[in-house]
Amino acid sequence: MSPSFHVAQVSRAQALTMLGGAALMMTIAMGIRQNLGLFQAPASRELGIAISDFALAISVQQVAWGVSQPFAGILADRHGTRGVALVGALLYIAGVILTATAQGTLPIVLGAGLLIGMALACTTSGITANIAARVVQPSRRTLAFGIVSAAGSIGTMVTAPIAAYLLGSEGWRAGLWAFAVLAVAMLPAAWLGSRADRLPNGVKNERDLSLAGALHEARRHPGYVVMSVAFFVCGLQLVFLTTHLPTYLAQCGMDPSYSALVLMLVGGFNVLSSWLFGWLGDKYPKRLLLGGIYLVRSLALALFFLFPPTPVSVVLLGAVMGVLWLGVIPLVNGLVVQIFGLRYLSTLTGIAFLSHQAGSFLGAWGGGYLFDLTGSYDLAWKIGVFVGLVAGTMQLLMNDRPTARMQALQAAAA
């Protein structure tokens, strides 16, 4: 089932072009980012740095992404997505090149960490959701968010075998140079997607809402606070897995190709799950779907780490985590629209994402720190499972009622 487009303002072909540009931009951005963990072990060995040093770069990336996201969202909400997305693409290219030419820890922290982190804030879901919201009819927005999010999964699935092949045959630097060339395609993709800036975003009745007013509403809404806290745990779990799974499997004596296989499976199943949860989010309570994802994901992680990994368990982990991965993005975007409306969609999702990235920092750096401290990942995964179960329960019980302002607007429209 495809989303309905605002055909009165643009043709279906034009709408698909805009969504396609946004999707391609997110495909490349997320595809490269999700596979950086594959370079951790070989880069650390060649450069003579600790695992925690490379993990620090990924952790800095999460913080830079999170801190930049609200500001990128404010700029996109006020001035459009084009400038934000193009600057983000340029930062991404520079970050990959700096990492590929690194001779020590600092360039990796600056490239894979700071620059790519800032670039992700300008090229992923906070910006692509803004584009999709303008192109797609209100009743199908969550589905559209899911379709664009699925693009990030395709990127993971496609770039993982490229990285694995080049790591095995040419080395980690060659893999990163290939990623730099791929990142150049983000520039035309950003240009095409941001053509949606000229379309109205359906917020004529929300023009009087100021940024300060939107932030005040968000701060006072208990459901938004709960959703943001649960999003922290989501980031902790996912980035711990993408950053440290390759090292964990190598420690257990498994071939490095299984790490790439997991990421390929995550990407493949994410294509389905992003669409699925986007579709379900237009029909069922989004808070229940989100809470269920967090709970089932935590249980899956517990079962995987309780036993020594095998080829079968690795394949199952990739499939299950793929189903439970990026499906959270359309649901979070949809909850923000449901509670607050569209006026500051990118801003409010960006603030919630800052919480997600704080968790991502802890998942990447904390996992590396505990590994260096104890020689294993046992304590790290146990902490991740426990807080995931708590977050999932909180998410199920969140208050998802629209603000009084939104309720009044909905009553007037009826």
pLDDT in the model for residue 1: 46
At 206, the pLDDT band (50, 70, 90 cuts) reads low
| pTM greater than 0.85 (yes/no) | no
pLDDT in the model for residue 152: 60
pLDDT in the model for residue 367: 87
At 229, the pLDDT band (50, 70, 90 cuts) reads very high
Contacts 24+ apart (CB under 8 A), 171-180: 171/42, 171/46, 172/39, 172/42, 172/43, 172/46, 173/100, 173/101, 175/38, 175/39, 176/39, 176/96, 176/99, 176/100, 177/97, 177/100, 179/32, 179/35, 179/96, 179/100, 180/93, 180/96, 180/97, 180/100
Return the SS3 of 136: strand
Please determine, for residue 385, whether its predicted confidence score (pLDDT) is greater than 90: yes
How many CA atoms does the CB half-sphere of 369 hold within 13 Å?
10
User: Average of pLDDT values for 276-284?
Assistant: 88
161, with CB counted inside 10 A (0-12, 13-18, 19+), is middle
User: Average of pLDDT values for 137-143?
Assistant: 73
Question: How much is the mean pLDDT over the chain?
Answer: 85
d(CA 78, CA 366) in angstroms, rounded, equals: 36
Better-predicted residue by pLDDT, 296 or 250:
296
Q: Return the H-helix or E-strand segment holding 129.
A: helix 125-135
CB of 239 within 8 A of CB of 61? no
At 207, the pLDDT band (50, 70, 90 cuts) reads low
| pLDDT, tens digit, 9 for 90 and up, residues 282-333 | 889 999 999 999 999 999 999 999 999 999 999 999 899 988 887 898 899 8
Instruction: Give the highest mean pLDDT range of 190-194, 200-204, 205-209.
Output: 190-194
262 in any annotated domain: yes
User: Average of pLDDT values for 234-255?
Assistant: 86
1 in any annotated domain: no
pLDDT in the model for residue 7: 41
Amino acid at the residue 206: E
All residues at 6 or more sequence positions from 184 whose CB lies less than 8 Å from its CB, including other chains? 93
74 in any annotated domain: yes
Q: How many domains does the chain have?
A: 1
pLDDT in the model for residue 406: 86
How many CA atoms does the CB half-sphere of 412 hold within 13 Å?
8
Return the SS3 of 285: coil
At 114, the pLDDT band (50, 70, 90 cuts) reads very high
d(CA 161, CA 397) in angstroms, rounded, equals: 40
d(CA 353, CA 357) in angstroms, rounded, equals: 6
2 in any annotated domain: no
pLDDT in the model for residue 414: 63
CB of 369 within 8 A of CB of 52? yes
156 in any annotated domain: yes
3 is written with which tokens? 């989303």
| Dihedral sign for Cα atoms in the order 213, 217, 220, 225 | negative
pLDDT in the model for residue 196: 81
Of the listed ranges 246-250, 304-308, 384-388, the one predicted with least confidence: 246-250
Q: Which residue from 157, 130, 125, 139 is spatially nearest to 327, judged by alpha carbons?
A: 125
CATH of the domain at 260: 1.20.1250.20
Please determine, for residue 8, whether its predicted confidence score (pLDDT) is greater than 70: no
pLDDT in the model for residue 41: 79
Please determine, for residue 177, whether its predicted confidence score (pLDDT) is greater than 80: yes
Q: Which residue from 121, 367, 131 is spatially nearest to 239, judged by alpha carbons?
A: 367
- Owning domain of residue 338: 12-200+209-413
For tokens 């992404």, name the residue: 65
Better-predicted residue by pLDDT, 114 or 7:
114
| pLDDT, tens digit, 9 for 90 and up, residues 337-383 | 899 988 888 889 888 988 888 888 888 888 888 988 888 899 999 99
| pLDDT, tens digit, 9 for 90 and up, residues 44-99 | 888 888 877 887 888 788 789 888 988 998 898 888 889 999 999 999 999 999 99
3 in any annotated domain: no
46 in any annotated domain: yes
Amino acid at the residue 172: W
**Per-residue DSSP letters for 97-122?**
HHHHT-SSHHHHIIIIIIIHHHHHHH
5 in any annotated domain: no
The residues with which 5 forms a beta bridge, in sequence order, are: 136
In this structure, the chain runs to a length of 414
Instruction: Give the highest mean pLDDT range of 47-56, 202-211, 391-400.
Output: 391-400
At 3, the pLDDT band (50, 70, 90 cuts) reads low
Q: Which residue from 229, 226, 251, 222 is spatially nearest to 372, judged by alpha carbons?
A: 251
